Structure 1
Amino acid sequence: MVVLNSFVNDARVYREAKEASKNFRVTIFARHADHLPIEENICGISVTRHSVTIDKLRLRFVRPLRYLELAVRFIWAALRLKPTVVHAHDLNALPIGYLISRFTGAKLIYDAHEMWSEQEVQQSLPRYLQVIGRWFEKRYAKKSDSVITVSDSIARELKHRFDLKAIHVIRNLPSYLEAPVSKIESPLRKTLGIGNEDFVILYQGGLSSGRGIEFLVKAFLTLDDRRLKLVLLGDGSLRKMLESMVPENDLGCRVFFLSAVPHAELLDWTAGANVGVHPMEGTCLNHKLALPNKLFEYIQARLPVIVSDMPEMSAFVEGERIGLVFKDTDVAALASCIVRLANERDLYRRLEKEAARVANAFTWEQEGPKLLSVYEGLGLNQGPVAESSRQT
């Protein structure tokens, strides 16, 4: 598996690697970062992080040179490894995965975690880079032996754009949590000193633009119910700005900021909340078609949810009757949803009951085997890993 991050808290890659490890020996190539080991074994998965020396040189055009160095390092290591499958996660890994597959004869899988060309961050790139990115994706997606993505809407869009014969949907579902930790015993409430009588609104995930987090903070600050607490669990470029939005006398007693926690511990923290919120903005097509990780993590912790009216996400929430939907960026509508769930106990209990039902129906235990079916569709179904030296 090829990723261009440092493989820390990457839930999707970890889940897929664990699933593949049932039938394969799995190695993940990632980028090295300070304080992380070069070589690591995580639950039977080999992780190799490659250093980038170009960052130490004061050169122009560092980003393309950095990418070129990583590509060379990954390809050289893969030649020694001789994989049977190369699983490239996201577009930035796809050209490298393609070259590895050509040099080693391995099958190539492209795993599109997002609609790359339609992400908000890509819209800020120079036009020529956007064009190059779209060309690369179309060219190498068509050359892949199989393509995977995360939602039906994105699958339909990619299939149409790239004229693909087939595309597989493997959603970002967490493992089933049979009995979430009680709210009062959750590390979230224990760490922050939040009492059992308080009603906690939780946003977890990256604190970056386009996710509507600033509108969540604005909505919350219009409410004067002291029982209500807002917790933002995650890191990102907006954190300082978000902290500056909170009046000093409220920071520490009603609004809390927590850094990201290890993914294996995340649901214990999530379970300490009463409601999970995802106020994503409709700033790009990728947001409109997304079915985010955090939605299913909230559900697995048995939380009712409040989400913005992004088509794929809101259709799921309304269809499964697990929460409330508001118009994106509408501060008053978001505040109204919070008040309703905090005060209408019958509504809250009904949504909580539905969340428990959905938690049992949408799990990685049901979704994960689809990945092995993708491998089998490539003719790679030769039995358990102990009887094979196959490598992905």
Structure 2
Amino acid sequence: MKQIIVSVTNDLVNDQRVHKVCTTLTQANYDVLLIGRKLKTSKNLKRDYKTYRFQLLFKKGFLFYAEYNLRLFIKLLFIAKKNNILLSNDLDTLLPNFMMSKLLQIPLVFDSHELFSELPSIRGRYSQKVWRFLENWLVPKQKYFFTVSGSIANWFYENYGVKPLVLKNFPRYKNTPFKEAQHKYILYQGSLNKGRGLLALIKAMQTIEIPLKIAGEGPYKSKIEKKIIELKLENKVLLLGNLDPEKLVLITQNATLGISLEEDLGLSYRYSLPNKLFDYIQAKTPVLATYLPEIKNVVESYKVGEIIEDHSPKNIVKGISKILENGKYYYQLNLEEASKELIWENQEKMLLSFFRNI
């Protein structure tokens, strides 16, 4: 079997896209090794493919990326062989993979989950110049390249003359029954980060009757908790933390509507297609979504929810109220159709063809 060495900078636990890619390749009889890092809070892994996680001294910032990239290069130096394929996920793992591919003359595949040099967290900082330099140097050299949305693929083509394959981050088909739970609630699932519309959503909850459940963790959690207390919404806005996937699916399936309110904080967010959007659709739950082009296109094309005009609490209330007024059954047939079409099984055919042609 040909071995594929996959690398990411996260702890592997909640990276759905990478897990699906590795599982698909494993089922196609590739020998997959996934490399990431281990945190103190990381859960144990049980996967059908091999995994390895670095225990690093530094957790974030320049020193983290420097240590990770050095450790990854050394690891690859000892394990990579002439018949291997390297799969680098995002710009923050690309340099050591590129160097090793040149050293051993082996294929390198690049999967760009986002526009890394356009992330809100680095815009206007010196680190953006560093990532932009690496992007300018490395991206035009990528022969085997895929990404998550058409807009991101077009951006790479316009800026670097390379057109990646688009492999959207759809979930696997679950054939879950359509359900409307007895107790209505709104659900947000995903990372608690800046730019997710969460503070505006919490403000909007002052005039919404049903509760909001927030499933996830992230650096914005303390600000969210503070806003909940400030507005005296402790009994209406519930923080669930990270949930096991099986439990999250049930909560999503029973929700009255799901929230995907990403803000336009730069090109990386503007062109994003978040996992949560397709998880809601797969659970047959209508969506209140942002006006950003890729997300808006999915919601309006399949008629599976409503779009906000801007991130004001007033417009969020208006969107939620419209879904509640229509009722969950209003969207049922459209959700049923979209849940059968927007699935990983359709994407993995392209993925396997892509790797067979390397």
Instruction: Establish whether TM, by shorter chain, passes 0.5.
Output: yes
C-alpha change, 1:200 and 1:64, in structure 2 (3 Å) is closer
Measured after TM superposition, the shift of residue 349 of structure 1 is 2.0
C-alpha change, 1:20 and 1:30, in structure 2 (3 Å) is same
Q: How does 1:16-55 map to 2 (within 5 A)?
A: 16-21=21-26, 22-34=28-40, 36=42, 42-43=47-48, 45-52=49-56, 54-55=57-58
Is contact 2:13–2:43 with CA below 8 Å preserved after alignment?
Answer: no
Measured after TM superposition, the shift of residue 319 of structure 1 is 1.5
RMSD over equivalenced CA pairs, Å: 2.3
Aligned with residue 151 of structure 1, among 149, 152, 162? 149
Q: How does 1:166-245 map to 2 (within 5 A)?
A: 166-180=163-177, 182=179, 184=181, 196=182, 198-223=183-208, 225=209, 228-245=210-227
Aligned with residue 361 of structure 1, among 337, 341, 358? 341
User: Which residue in the other structure is 1:308 paired with?
Assistant: 290
User: Which residue in the other structure is 1:104 paired with?
Assistant: 104
C-alpha change, 1:64 and 1:252, in structure 2 (3 Å) is closer
Is contact 1:218–1:331 with CA below 8 Å preserved after alignment?
Answer: yes
SS of equivalent to 1:368: helix
* Distance in 1 (alpha carbons) for counterparts of 2:165 and 2:349: 12
The residue type paired with residue 2 of structure 1 is: S
C-alpha change, 1:93 and 1:68, in structure 2 (3 Å) is closer
* Distance in 1 (alpha carbons) for counterparts of 2:93 and 2:290: 31
Is contact 1:290–1:312 with CA below 8 Å preserved after alignment?
Answer: yes
Measured after TM superposition, the shift of residue 357 of structure 1 is 1.2
Number of aligned residue pairs: 351
**Bigger relative CO (Cα 8 Å, ≥ 6 apart):** 1
User: Which residue in the other structure is 1:162 paired with?
Assistant: 160
* Distance in 2 (alpha carbons) for counterparts of 1:312 and 1:15: 21
SS of equivalent to 2:7: coil
* Distance in 1 (alpha carbons) for counterparts of 2:137 and 2:247: 39
Is contact 2:284–2:335 with CA below 8 Å preserved after alignment?
Answer: yes
* Distance in 1 (alpha carbons) for counterparts of 2:266 and 2:226: 26
* Distance in 1 (alpha carbons) for counterparts of 2:307 and 2:231: 30
User: Which residue in the other structure is 1:14 paired with?
Assistant: 19
Find out whether 1:257 has 2:255 as its counterpart: no
Measured after TM superposition, the shift of residue 133 of structure 1 is 1.2
Please give the TM-score of this superposition, normalised by the length of structure 1.
0.83
Is contact 2:213–2:240 with CA below 8 Å preserved after alignment?
Answer: yes
Is contact 1:88–1:94 with CA below 8 Å preserved after alignment?
Answer: yes
The residue type paired with residue 241 of structure 2 is: S
* Distance in 2 (alpha carbons) for counterparts of 1:276 and 1:114: 22
* Distance in 1 (alpha carbons) for counterparts of 2:86 and 2:229: 50
C-alpha change, 1:238 and 1:318, in structure 2 (3 Å) is same
Measured after TM superposition, the shift of residue 247 of structure 1 is 4.1
SS of equivalent to 2:158: helix
Measured after TM superposition, the shift of residue 246 of structure 1 is 1.9
Find out whether 1:330 has 2:312 as its counterpart: yes
Structure with max Cα Rg:
1
Is contact 2:216–2:241 with CA below 8 Å preserved after alignment?
Answer: yes
Is contact 1:180–1:268 with CA below 8 Å preserved after alignment?
Answer: no
Write the deviation string for residues 319-370 of structure 1: whole angstroms up to 9, x where unpaired.
211111012322101101111222333xx42223211210011101111111
**After TM superposition, what 4+ stretches of structure 1 lie above 6 angstroms from structure 2?**
none
Please give the TM-score of this superposition, normalised by the length of structure 2.
0.91
User: Which residue in the other structure is 2:330 paired with?
Assistant: 350
Is contact 1:75–1:99 with CA below 8 Å preserved after alignment?
Answer: no
* Distance in 2 (alpha carbons) for counterparts of 1:374 and 1:259: 37
* Distance in 1 (alpha carbons) for counterparts of 2:228 and 2:202: 8
* Distance in 2 (alpha carbons) for counterparts of 1:169 and 1:217: 34
* Distance in 2 (alpha carbons) for counterparts of 1:23 and 1:243: 46
Measured after TM superposition, the shift of residue 290 of structure 1 is 1.2
The unaligned stretches of length 5 or more in structure 2 are 1-5
The residue type paired with residue 354 of structure 1 is: N
* Distance in 1 (alpha carbons) for counterparts of 2:66 and 2:231: 48
* Distance in 2 (alpha carbons) for counterparts of 1:125 and 1:360: 43
Write the deviation string for residues 236-265 of structure 1: whole angstroms up to 9, x where unpaired.
111121122224895553211011123455
